[in-house]
Chains A and B, each alone.
Chain A
């Protein structure tokens, strides 16, 4: 995904830590889980762990140990223990018809990572993707709790629509997405138009196909983008409509991006409806 071991460590740690923020929890302790080949310079491992540590510190968690396994390629992740009042867990099952759906990061990191592999992504897009992938969802989590969000999930490997479907299914609602409102990182559309799309996006699409109703003018380029697997993506939040403004302004005040991308409806027979531009 990225060649810089420090960044790799940061992204992997953020990806792990963000899971608990999606439930409204606060991380307490973490363990490093490392796979590393014996032919690589040990300094690389040092840099990966240092990158991870910087994010653990930022999250206010404590690193208490870890496990290392020898493997052919470097892998890194965290086992995270977090604290939450069981009555206040925000699950993905609490979406109610009429609510507003908000996303806290732009999408397209999978396509940009594919572009990086092919050496065709431009500097600006790469920079933005790295900024997105290294951002903890801690502040977004805090704001969503304050405004009383009723459901949340984080957008990762199944892409925006994949995770949205999980929410809609668990809550038995239909979520209507307005394509023109979905934030997409600059450069992603151009890459997708050229067919620079990870295989995972197509696998996601195949999986969600039967559950989505596409309006006619949503072409395959945008379908790929909406199904693009994300690394350390943003929070996908359901909030009562009259609180949506507070959520967006709260996010902005906390220095977090926030976009209203759609609304929840009574279940119509398909879990997702995508309206075109």
Chain B
């Protein structure tokens, strides 16, 4: 038995929203959405097209039966995952030996430049802001990340505390409000 969304009698954007939800709930397979007007039909087809799912439309009396085949489960799950934010809270990666932490930082940011998907945002707080300032040994990697579209944020209070605000070389200065918002809205990875 196919999955079914009966969107007859629904106004925009409900047919699309209900179809989208139903598609998210099934892992794969066929979903049929029934609509009773052209606008809803066009919009539901467009939704399916935006995911590259094959669509067939059949007109029965005054209704359209839109059959959507959900495929590529793996790809879909990766792409639909939330954006990633990385919180860096120290100039050294990990606790223990600082010299080792410094080397790890280099290798961490280099690896990040080659990772897919890239994080959307990297947040630097406390002593980590040293890394975005003049003289940082990972500046090259962080600039590279920014070039690739990653948002680089350094905590303003921290820059003030370490008195290096004028030495910031990459990204922008941020505040706790924005930082907390990023933490909430993204999948957060802390290092």
User: Which residues from chain B contact A199 at a C-beta distance below 8 Å?
Assistant: 11-12, 39
B93-138 contacts to A (CB < 8 Å): none
Complex Cα gap A98–B56 (Å): 47
A114-B20 in contact (CB<8A):
no
B11-A193 in contact (CB<8A):
no
B17-A193 in contact (CB<8A):
no
User: Which residues from chain B contact A243 at a C-beta distance below 8 Å?
Assistant: none
Q: B149 contacts the other chain (Cβ, under 8 Å)?
A: no
Complex Cα gap A7–B119 (Å): 34
Q: A37 contacts the other chain (Cβ, under 8 Å)?
A: no
User: Which residues from chain B contact A120 at a C-beta distance below 8 Å?
Assistant: 17, 20
Q: A42 contacts the other chain (Cβ, under 8 Å)?
A: no
Complex Cα gap A117–B16 (Å): 11
Q: A196 contacts the other chain (Cβ, under 8 Å)?
A: yes
The chain A residue with its CB closest to the CB of B17 is A118
User: Which residues from chain B contact A202 at a C-beta distance below 8 Å?
Assistant: 38-39, 42
Given the contacts A195-B43, A195-B46, A115 and B185 also touching, CB distance less than 8 Å: no
Q: Pick the most buried of B11, B39, B45, B47: most chain A CB atoms within 10 A of its CB.
A: B39
Complex Cα gap A197–B40 (Å): 10
Interface SS of B by simple majority: helix
Given the contacts A193-B46, A193-B50, A198 and B20 also touching, CB distance less than 8 Å: no
User: Which residues from chain B contact A123 at a C-beta distance below 8 Å?
Assistant: 185
Given the contacts A123-B185, A202-B39, A195 and B11 also touching, CB distance less than 8 Å: no
A119-B17 in contact (CB<8A):
yes
Complex Cα gap A115–B12 (Å): 10
User: Which residues from chain B contact A196 at a C-beta distance below 8 Å?
Assistant: 13, 16-17, 43
Q: Mark A211-223, 1 if CB is under 8 A from B, else 0.
A: 0000000001100
Complex Cα gap A274–B44 (Å): 26
Min Cβ gap B13→A in Å is 4
B42-A194 in contact (CB<8A):
no
User: Which residues from chain B contact A119 at a C-beta distance below 8 Å?
Assistant: 17
B185-A195 in contact (CB<8A):
no
User: Which residues from chain A contact B167 at a C-beta distance below 8 Å?
Assistant: none
Choose among A197, A220, A221 the residue that contacts B12 (Cβ–Cβ < 8 A): A197
Q: B14 contacts the other chain (Cβ, under 8 Å)?
A: yes
B1-60 contacts to A (CB < 8 Å): 11-14, 16-17, 20, 38-39, 42-47, 50
User: Which residues from chain A contact B11 at a C-beta distance below 8 Å?
Assistant: 199
The chain A residue with its CB closest to the CB of B181 is A123
Given the contacts A193-B46, A193-B50, A198 and B16 also touching, CB distance less than 8 Å: no
Choose among B13, B42, B46 the residue that contacts A115 (Cβ–Cβ < 8 A): B13
B12-A198 in contact (CB<8A):
yes
Q: Rank and list the top 3 A-B pairs by shortest CB-CB distance, nearest first.
A: A195-B43, A195-B46, A118-B17
Further 14 A-B residue pairs, CB within 8 A, beyond A194-B20, A199-B11: A114-B12, A115-B13, A118-B13, A119-B17, A120-B20, A193-B46, A193-B50, A194-B47, A195-B16, A195-B50, A196-B13, A196-B17, A198-B13, A202-B39
Using a CB–CB distance below 8 Å, which chain B residues touch chain A? 11-14, 16-17, 20, 38-39, 42-47, 50, 185
26 A-B contacts (beta carbon < 8 Å): A115-B13, A117-B13, A118-B13, A118-B14, A118-B20, A193-B50, A194-B16, A194-B20, A194-B46, A194-B50, A195-B13, A195-B42, A195-B44, A195-B45, A195-B46, A196-B16, A197-B12, A197-B13, A197-B43, A198-B12, A198-B13, A199-B12, A199-B39, A202-B38, A220-B42, A221-B46
